[in-house]
Amino acid sequence: MGTDVCWELPTLATLIFENQDVTSPLPSEGEAAAVPRADDGNGTPRRIRVTAESMASKQREISVSEFFAKNRHLLGFDNPRKALLTTVKEAVDNALDACEEAGLLPEIWVRIEALAENRFRVSVQDNGPGIVKKQIPLIFGKLLYGSKFHRLRQSRGQQGIGISAAGMYGLLTTGRPVSIVSRTGSKRPVHFYQIQIDTKHNRPEIVNGKGEGVDIPPNDGAAEFLREHQLHWQDVDHGTLVAIELEAKYQRGRGSVDEYLEQTAIANPHVTLHYHDPEGRTHEYPRVAEVLPAEPKEIKPHPYGVELGTLITMLKDSKSGTLGRFLTESFSRISPAVAKRIAQAASLSIRTNPKRLGRAQAEALFQALQNEKVQSPAVDCLSPIGEELILRGMRQMVPGEFYTAVTRPPAVYRGNPFQVEVGLSYGGGPATYRVSKELLEELLAETDARTLRQFLTTTFDGVGPEGADKLLREARLRARMSPGRLKAREREQLFEALRRVNLSEGQTMNVLRYANRVPLLFQAGACAITQTVMSTNWRAYGLTQSRNALPSGPVTLMVHIASVWVPFTSESKEAVAGYPEIQKELRLAFQAVGRRLGMYLRRRDRVKTQGERRNIFLRYLREVADAVAVIRGVDRDEIHAHLMQVAKRVTAAADMKLDEHGNPIMEDGEEDFAGPVLIVPQEEKAVPAAAEKRPGEVQTRLFTDQ
């Protein structure tokens, strides 16, 4: 079905089967109205009268799936390219949540197959706990069904919409059901389901096994059986695979599946990812940490976060016999003593039955809850990445010479605990500055350079002989090879090396945003993270910045917000809302990493300027010594040695060496960075700062700003 057809397959089928008139979907007009309406263009005034009764006959309940099918942009399905990413993202986020919750180190297989020009099959498998048979249809065939909405605990998913919405989008655009394979143990059967959502009623329909699904007994060659259904099941003892066919577009670059998976690997160093892309290439992201993040605990709501209406409902639904028990059992941080004080302040007895409280009493209780001094919520519900792992993750993925990270202490917005973490890398071109594989292939084919070294120095802006050698070393290729004769594997090696090497400086700061370890790739402008980066004064830390803009400089900033409930601006979970408490924490974190960056840049510049000063002294000292020897008749070598000593002393900073933590090796009373930093000694810069490109030069920037 082409994209130009407005009726989607299942919608069309419903209309035909229900015998509605597809050609005139507008409702029929009512009786003649008393008040004439505007001219309809034919000269006759249109007269319509709608009575309360005729309106009543048109009132209908709207199912949540019908609503989101119409408003799919709210869920991140606004264009085919984004649809592909959102589908992968929902499945991968669920897989990671499930593994972590079950205490298993996650291993994920992502496979995207191109079936036709605009049609793909996305399949994602995990080694998680699997899903019990009864739950499978509801999870994948019903919107707003999930295990995470009603609890306060940090997880990637929270709404109960994600994967069923992706399945629904697949069904709407291709008419194909979602395939699910799940197993909960080595001695248990493998469940195989094909499910589609009945959009009109928001309920699942099982398509295979006569409406019952299929069970494949253990040791019965599930992988072969599933291969017949185009499913690549990794034979694991427990885990889940979900496969969705959808209309989509695959394109690399900013906001792509590739970028999302790469950024996921940075923030989740305990995950192993295998990615098979639509062009048949495989990408491996092995884990760099062998331990799971600390398990976040589930907490009860904090009294400061509750609203009056919610409190009234909670009182009504309470199963606690007394007000005292209700307060201690429903909220976090309320001890029996605090409960007593709250009840007293509201002029209530702690022995009252909470169900019997009237509206005025509930309001008095609400006020007392807000006024009582209650400890901040427990923070073991949060699981930050940690400074050490952020440094390691960034070092792995983003080239640079200076790295630092800060994890702020937990804070609270609307009663919900949250925590901000920031990692900063300076010096390398950020990961987004890359030559695409296609461009590289084309350049290699087109070049008239005879050697690879010549190709590199003449093709890329600013790559000098040292830069070329560094690239070649990294790619394990010989300098004299002919660029046109590289084998596929060698081209791949060169491409990988180019990804890691600095190709341009002078770009704007690259901000990688994360919420609960999930990369946020869209709506940067609407996100509190970007807005706070822009309103922070980075000039104080040695970067250039125009007012209310992202600073310039070879800087990558990774920002992570962890919370039991991330306040997203929409259901598609792309941007974080700007609560003042969150903005404050962001600003403090930016200032902490900014101060360390400023300190590093000042030290580095001091070494450089003093080095230059010393070079000038050294150049002229010999002549000065000669002249003084002639005029004063003293020994030339002696005076030269003396002058040398003075020159070295006054330019002593040129000798300052920084250890890998950025502290001077020479004791000179410098202040400390006061936090973890990592300094990677740089060889002579391969690529000088080159913000502007001359016309006709090769554009090496693949990702452009949105």
Ligand X SMILES: Nc1ncnc2c1ncn2[C@@H]1O[C@H](COP(=O)(O)OP(=O)(O)OP(=O)(O)O)[C@@H](O)[C@H]1O
Of residues 145 and 403, the one with the C-beta less far from ligand X: 145
Of residues 132 and 691, the one with the C-beta less far from ligand X: 132
Given Mg ion, ligand X, none, residue 14, with its beta carbon under 5 to 8 Å by kind, binds none
Residues 533, 394: contact at Cβ < 8 Å?
Answer: no
Q: Which residue is nearest to ligand X (CB)?
A: 157
C-alpha to C-alpha distance for 336 and 320, rounded to whole angstroms: 14
Given Mg ion, ligand X, none, residue 139, with its beta carbon under 5 to 8 Å by kind, binds ligand X
Given Mg ion, ligand X, none, residue 240, with its beta carbon under 5 to 8 Å by kind, binds ligand X
Shortest gap between Cβ of 125 and ligand X (angstroms)? 9
The alpha carbon dihedral of 571, 573, 575, 578 has a sign of positive
C-alpha to C-alpha distance for 702 and 685, rounded to whole angstroms: 22
Work out whether 574 is an interface residue with ligand X (CB under 6 A): no
Residues of span 521-550 touching ligand X by CB under 6 A: none
Q: Which of the ranges 144-152, 184-192, 389-397, 617-625 carries the binding residues for ligand X, by CB under 6 A?
A: 144-152
Among 10, 162, 269, 303, binds ligand X (CB under 6 A): 162
Helix, strand, or coil (residue 424): strand
Given Mg ion, ligand X, none, residue 95, with its beta carbon under 5 to 8 Å by kind, binds ligand X
Helix, strand, or coil (residue 62): coil
Among 158, 352, 504, 531, binds ligand X (CB under 6 A): 158
Residues 513, 519: contact at Cβ < 8 Å?
Answer: yes
Q: Give which of 355, 362, 416 is closest to 154, Cα–Cα.
A: 416
Shortest gap between Cβ of 389 and ligand X (angstroms)? 24
Residues of span 114-143 touching ligand X by CB under 6 A: 126, 128, 131, 139
Contacts of 539 (CB under 8 A, 6+ apart): 545, 551
C-alpha to C-alpha distance for 631 and 628, rounded to whole angstroms: 5
Shortest gap between Cβ of 498 and ligand X (angstroms)? 36
Burial of 644 (0-12, 13-18, 19+ CB in 10 A): middle
Residues of span 91-110 touching Mg ion by CB under 5 A: 94
Shortest gap between Cβ of 601 and ligand X (angstroms)? 41
C-alpha to C-alpha distance for 175 and 199, rounded to whole angstroms: 12
Work out whether 576 is an interface residue with ligand X (CB under 6 A): no
Shortest gap between Cβ of 98 and ligand X (angstroms)? 3
Of residues 490 and 571, the one with the C-beta less far from Mg ion: 571
Given Mg ion, ligand X, none, residue 246, with its beta carbon under 5 to 8 Å by kind, binds none
Given ligand X, Mg ion, none, residue 419, with its beta carbon under 5 to 8 Å by kind, binds none
Of residues 95 and 206, the one with the C-beta less far from ligand X: 95
Work out whether 160 is an interface residue with ligand X (CB under 6 A): yes
Among 94, 383, 510, 583, binds ligand X (CB under 6 A): 94
Of residues 96 and 389, the one with the C-beta less far from Mg ion: 96
Given Mg ion, ligand X, none, residue 131, with its beta carbon under 5 to 8 Å by kind, binds ligand X
Q: Give which of 679, 690, 684, 263 is closest to 503, Cα–Cα.
A: 690
Q: What is the CA radius of gyration of the chain?
A: 32
Residues of span 130-169 touching Mg ion by CB under 5 A: 157, 162
Shortest gap between Cβ of 73 and ligand X (angstroms)? 16
State the DSSP H helix or E strand holding residue 195, giving kind and residue range, or none if neither. Answer: strand 190-198
Of residues 118 and 159, the one with the C-beta less far from Mg ion: 159
- DSSP code at position 39: B
Mask of contacts with ligand X, 232-261, x by CB under 6 A? --------x---------------------
Question: Judged by CB under 5 A, how many residues of this single chain contact Mg ion?
Answer: 3
Among 72, 89, 119, 148, binds ligand X (CB under 6 A): 148
Buried b (16+ CB within 10 A) or exposed e, 589-625: bbbbbbbbbbbbbebbeebeebeeebeebeeebeeeb
Shortest gap between Cβ of 158 and ligand X (angstroms)? 4
Q: Which of the ranges 87-95, 363-371, 626-634, 640-648 carries the binding residues for ligand X, by CB under 6 A?
A: 87-95
Q: Which of the ranges 145-153, 184-192, 475-483, 490-498 carries the binding residues for ligand X, by CB under 6 A?
A: 145-153
683: number of Cβ within 10 Å: 9
Given Mg ion, ligand X, none, residue 523, with its beta carbon under 5 to 8 Å by kind, binds none
Residues 237, 185: contact at Cβ < 8 Å?
Answer: yes
Structure tokens at 504: 């341009």
Among 95, 323, 390, 527, binds ligand X (CB under 6 A): 95
Of residues 152 and 444, the one with the C-beta less far from ligand X: 152
Buried b (16+ CB within 10 A) or exposed e, 563-584: bbbbbbeebbbbbbebeeebbe
Of residues 76 and 430, the one with the C-beta less far from ligand X: 76
Shortest gap between Cβ of 240 and ligand X (angstroms)? 4
Please compute, for residue 90, the number of CA atoms within 13 A of its CA located in the half-sphere on the CB side. 29
Shortest gap between Cβ of 193 and Mg ion (angstroms)? 18
State the DSSP H helix or E strand holding residue 461, giving kind and residue range, or none if neither. Answer: none
The separation between CA 648 and the C-alpha centre of its own chain, rounded to angstroms, equals 50
Among 92, 112, 122, 161, binds ligand X (CB under 6 A): 161
* Cα→Cα distances 698→96, 232, 396, 625, 687, Å: 40, 41, 27, 51, 14
Structure tokens at 692: 């502007």
Mask of contacts with ligand X, 44-83, x by CB under 6 A? ----------------------------------------
- DSSP code at position 433: -
- Please name the amino acid found at residue 230: Q
Token match 């331990």: residue?
Answer: 291
E strands, 59-189, are 107-116, 119-126, 178-183
Of residues 88 and 456, the one with the C-beta less far from ligand X: 88
Residues 264, 275: contact at Cβ < 8 Å?
Answer: no
Of residues 157 and 400, the one with the C-beta less far from ligand X: 157
Of residues 215 and 492, the one with the C-beta less far from ligand X: 215
Of residues 90 and 259, the one with the C-beta less far from ligand X: 90
Tell me the backbone φ, ψ of residue 64, rounded to 5 degrees. Answer: -60, -30
Helix, strand, or coil (residue 1): coil
Of residues 100 and 505, the one with the C-beta less far from ligand X: 100
The separation between CA 500 and the C-alpha centre of its own chain, rounded to angstroms, equals 21
Work out whether 157 is an interface residue with ligand X (CB under 6 A): yes
Q: Give which of 399, 344, 385 is closest to 560, Cα–Cα.
A: 385
Residues 215, 190: contact at Cβ < 8 Å?
Answer: yes
Of residues 159 and 208, the one with the C-beta less far from ligand X: 159
Of residues 90 and 277, the one with the C-beta less far from ligand X: 90
Shortest gap between Cβ of 94 and Mg ion (angstroms)? 4
State the DSSP H helix or E strand holding residue 534, giving kind and residue range, or none if neither. Answer: helix 528-535
Q: Which residues bind ligand X (CB under 6 A)?
A: 90, 94-95, 98, 126, 128, 131, 139, 146-148, 157-164, 240
Q: Which residues bind Mg ion (CB under 5 A)?
A: 94, 157, 162
